[in-house]
Amino acid sequence: MLQYINETHPISVGDVAQHFSRTRGLARTTVQTMMQRLVSKGFLKRKRGGPVYVYTPSVSTSQVITTMIAEFVKGVLGGSVSPILAYLSQNYNDLSDAEIAELRALVAKLDEPAPAGRES
């Protein structure tokens, strides 16, 4: 939802609801609740745009993804990224060659010296 809002902002709940009703079968109330949660988490801003509120992203999509992954790792995985790596290694056939190359490049960065202020 946030990606769609990011691509089409500023946008009203009605317009978002219409899109997600058509593409995913979501009810307007569901969309409205989800958008209110995104506002409360600081991912969206809302302001009066005529007779309705319009919404715009308050952070980039990549920042949202980073935050959500961090929350998932902390809350669900107890702070360990090992289960994610285990999943990827067991399901590597689902990854494209480009994704595998990107993962290899990221792992190679782990061999670089730690930035100042971070313990190894």
Compute mean pLDDT per 10 residues along the chain, 120 residues long, and list them. 91 96 96 95 90 92 86 94 90 89 90 71
First to last CA, the chain: 38
Please tell me the predicted confidence (pLDDT) of residue 117: 64
With b meaning 16 or more CB within 10 Å and e meaning fewer, what string describes 41-51? Answer: eebbbbeeeee
The per-residue pLDDT for 68 is 85
Q: What is the pLDDT of residue 16?
A: 97
